[in-house]
Amino acid sequence: MENRSLLSLSLALLSFLSPCLTALTPRVSFQMGSPGRHVTLFSSPDVSNTSTLLLSEDGDMLYVGARDAVLALDVSHKEAITLRSKLDWSPSEKDLEQCSMKGKKMANCPNFIRVLQFLNATHIYACGTFAYSPRCTYITSETLMMSMKPDEGRGRCPYDPYQRNTAIIVDGELYTGTVADYRGNRPVISRHLSEGRRVDLKLDDTLGWLEDPTFISSSFIPDEEKIYFFFSEVGREYDFIDKFIVSRVSQICMSDVGGQRTLQRRWTTFAKAQLLCQADNELPYNVIQDIDSLPPAEGAPADDTLFYGIFTSQWSVNSGRSAVCSFRLADIKSVFSGNYKVLNRDTLQWSTRVQEKVANPGECGLHNASDNALRFVKENFLADDSVRPVGRSVTVVSAEHSYTHLTVQRVQAANSRSYTVLFLLTDSGYLHKAVLLQSGAHIIEEVQVFEQPQPIKSLKLSTAKGMLYVGSSEGVVRVPTANCSFYWTCPQCILARDPFCGWDPNIRACVEASSSQASLGQDVDRGNVEEACNSVSFSHRARFSPNKLPAGELVSVSLNEVVRLQCPAASLLSQQLWERPNSRLSSDLYLHLEDGSLSFVATPATLGPYLCLSTENGYQQTVAIYHVQQRSGPVAQTPSSYNWPQNPPIATTEAGARLRPSAGPEGTETSQIETEPTPTSRDALRGRNVSLWEEEPKEAELRDRGPLQSARGPCYLKELVVVSVLLVLSLSLLITTLLYLFRQRCRSRTAPQARPPSRDSDRRTPADQEGLRGSQVLSKRNGQARGFACNGALTGSNGHLPNTPI
């Protein structure tokens, strides 16, 4: 319990120490069917689950293991994939009925081809699940016909069509990693099709050499004469409450024929070690998803063979992340030649103790060893040390994309340097092409290869043809590894940083690079456009010539209209910047939207030219120029010269905004800016959407031009709401003022006042005054001479309130 507490504490500390991840954003993205990326799809209504792929050596024929069928596809033509032949291989009605009686779903009872390997130059060895009763057969590669009756495939092919397995044929012998029973509880690494004095071998089931494994891949190293298996399993050496998954690499020797008395017909050279995909101060990525081998460069030793694998983590702190780690063959051999753990059969606990080595586990030739040595290697098959990644660091870490499959290729660039290119398949249906640089991984592009996530997928790379094949339930997709023709300018070709592509200055095109073309412009490491394209620099003042405006798109608007100017992104890694000559783009007048567009209200101060720049890796290029002017009434005259703000920044250009000589007033050449279309972000092909005009438009032409729909607001709703609110406020203020004045007037009229005696009253006699008072009292009693005051109270004829003494 104390060890578990310490482990939990250490995992918590590691989670806090994990560094922030750098977002891996593909530079260009292509949707399914985009004309900017040529992708060929093969599909047929009667063919499904085309998930097992086998490519011929010359790359002209692709054999596909599907459901109830084996296909031979002709892939020699670049424009299409054609079906040359098809072998139907399905269970009988009786087999399907027995499969259903076993409690299996009918959807899983067909024959799913899971093993497809070349046996020799003329035959293919194929195995299928065959209604949860595996079968294997020999198929003629030329005619795609069975050469013999299918036999039992137990231990060669899985029963469950969705259970992962691995198989490889070397020198006519089949080496497999799968399960050997119906329930999937007996994992086995075995050899089949042995002839002569060689016998078929498998693991000893009673030793627990494998703990609920998931087989991923297998690889043959000719110089070592060994087969390496990669899988994940439960790590029994760790005393955890929950099952801890670990990734493994195991090895067996091809020369192994089993022991004479001990380990008869069993492997004597089996050994396994942990693959640790982990960087310093980070939690490990412990679950392997896929792995591929990269042979050493020409002239390098076999120990330089690299294995690139995709790993995920079972820890919640790393949930959703994918990591790519590389392992060197020399490090794997070093771990296998070191110490081994000891298993206590009574407590089933692994420990490491210093002991005398009777034999070296994993060493070839142990089948001739003594019984004592074989018993030692039988008990000691787990290496004590773990295989660490190259450089003790993770090659790629992504929190945005969940990778499932990969393949790797070494590419020689125009400068004769070699670069490693990874092709990574995501669970969302995208293929990422990434080049590994000293600064980190750079994702050149992503291509959507299928729309729906597929349960079974595979990748097959043809380096000879430069093609990549993806197998899924929807069909087979072929993707060229290079897409150089998409970059139609030198800056775009250089900024792609694709080792497959380089800029040819002679034909002014981006072409596939080779070491023989030393004149190609290419900079994979830095992507420096100025040096690779020999571009010139010029200031903002040169963009708008004093004598003539540059070419651009005319936008006719009305005053007080909401204008929105679009700015196509050169790539997903670029940033858009707006400029205009006579004023700065104040945040009070202009709104920069997330998609890079610019929005503002058309006023006399906001009319005029606008320039959109795209900045990427220190390089600026012009992607759009607009001239906004008033539509109604007399056409506003565009000024012929502009003054830029002080200390303008410097921009470089070569083709994105290219200086083109044009005839000046006196026959001299002046510089005119010509904008080049650039690819957009997700669709990556909306680049040529800016219509250019060369000359200053005439006044009549400006009146005839319609408004740019993409640059106008849909209605005047915003202005209507503002005017309505102001009108309501004004009316409310006016009514309140009138009521206040009326109330003040009424108060002044109803307030009691000391009235001075008039001259008539002074002339009256005392008798007359007494009679006058009597008549007033009488009138009050009879209700005569009454009226309403301003506040609604009754008043007398004298203007005073009733009962008010005078």
| Average pLDDT of the segment spanning 22-34 | 88
Model confidence at 549, in pLDDT bands (50, 70, 90)? low
**Long-range contacts from 374-381, C-beta under 8 angstroms, 24+ separation:** 374/259, 374/262, 374/263, 374/268, 375/262, 377/268, 377/269, 377/271, 378/204, 378/207, 378/262, 378/263, 379/342, 379/343, 380/340, 380/341, 380/342, 380/343, 381/207, 381/209, 381/270, 381/271, 381/272, 381/340
Model confidence at 766, in pLDDT bands (50, 70, 90)? very low
Q: Is the pLDDT of residue 485 over 90?
A: yes
408, 438, 389: which is closest to 249 by C-alpha? 389
Residue span(s) of the chain under CATH 2.60.40.10 come to 542-714
Q: Could you give the strand order of the β-sheet that contains 403-412, starting from the edge strand earlier in sequence?
A: 28-30, 440-448, 430-437, 418-426, 403-412
109 token code pair = 């009872």
Alpha-carbon gap, residue 394 to 371, rounded angstroms: 43
What top-level class would CATH report for the domain 50-161?
mainly beta
pLDDT given for residue 296 in this prediction: 94
Q: How do the residues of the chain divide into helix, strand and coil, expressed in percent and rounded to 5?
A: 20, 35, 50
C-alpha atoms less than 13 angstroms from C-alpha of 778 in its C-beta half-sphere: 6
Highest-confidence segment of 205-214, 259-268, 582-591: 259-268
pLDDT given for residue 148 in this prediction: 87
Alpha-carbon gap, residue 353 to 374, rounded angstroms: 19
pLDDT given for residue 452 in this prediction: 77
The per-residue pLDDT for range 404-434, each reduced to its tens digit, is: 999 999 999 988 899 999 999 998 889 999 9
Determine the topology of domain 542-714 in CATH.
Answer: Immunoglobulin-like (2.60.40)
Residue span(s) of the chain under CATH 2.130.10.10 come to 163-399
Q: Is the pLDDT of residue 312 over 90?
A: yes
The distance of Cα 413 from the centroid of its chain, to the nearest Å, equals 25
Q: Is the pLDDT of residue 502 over 90?
A: yes
Q: Tokens 């994940």 map to which residue?
A: 232
pLDDT given for residue 758 in this prediction: 44
pLDDT given for residue 440 in this prediction: 92
Model confidence at 702, in pLDDT bands (50, 70, 90)? very low
Q: Is the pLDDT of residue 368 over 80?
A: yes
Model confidence at 456, in pLDDT bands (50, 70, 90)? low
Do the beta carbons of residue 675 and residue 625 sit within 8 Å? yes
Window from 63-67, 134-138, 197-201, 584-588 with minimum mean pLDDT: 584-588
Q: Is the pLDDT of residue 649 over 60?
A: no
32, 113, 64: which is closest to 460 by C-alpha? 64
Residue with the bigger pLDDT between 534 and 421: it is: 421
Query: CA angle, corner 453, sides to 447 and 457, nearest 5?
Result: 80
Model confidence at 197, in pLDDT bands (50, 70, 90)? confident
pLDDT given for residue 535 in this prediction: 58
Question: The domain 406-454+482-534: what is its CATH number?
Answer: 3.30.1680.10
Residue with the bigger pLDDT between 648 and 228: it is: 228
pLDDT given for residue 484 in this prediction: 95
* Domain at 163-399, CATH from 3.90.1530.10, 3.40.50.80, 2.130.10.10, 3.30.360.10: 2.130.10.10
Residue with the bigger pLDDT between 590 and 280: it is: 590
* CA 500 vs CA 92, 414, 506, 520, 790: distances in Å: 49, 9, 18, 11, 94
pLDDT given for residue 701 in this prediction: 38
pLDDT given for residue 355 in this prediction: 64
Do the beta carbons of residue 479 and residue 470 sit within 8 Å? yes
Model confidence at 276, in pLDDT bands (50, 70, 90)? very high
Residue span(s) of the chain under CATH 2.40.128 come to 50-161
Model confidence at 33, in pLDDT bands (50, 70, 90)? confident
Model confidence at 202, in pLDDT bands (50, 70, 90)? very high
Q: Is the pLDDT of residue 568 over 80?
A: yes
Do the beta carbons of residue 209 and residue 218 sit within 8 Å? no
Backbone region of residue 633 per phi and psi (left: phi > 0; alpha: psi in -120 to 50; beta: other values): left
Q: Is the pLDDT of residue 665 over 90?
A: no
Q: Is the pLDDT of residue 687 over 90?
A: no
Per residue, the 3-state secondary structure of 281-328, as one string, reads: CCCCECEEEEEEEECCCCCCCHHHCEEEEEEECCCHHHCCCEEEEEEE
Window from 499-513, 560-574, 743-757 with minimum mean pLDDT: 743-757
What average pLDDT is seen over the chain?
80
pLDDT given for residue 578 in this prediction: 93
Alpha-carbon gap, residue 705 to 585, rounded angstroms: 27
CB neighbours of residue 509 within 10 Å: 15
3-state secondary structure of 42: strand
Window from 199-213, 330-344, 613-627, 686-700 with minimum mean pLDDT: 686-700
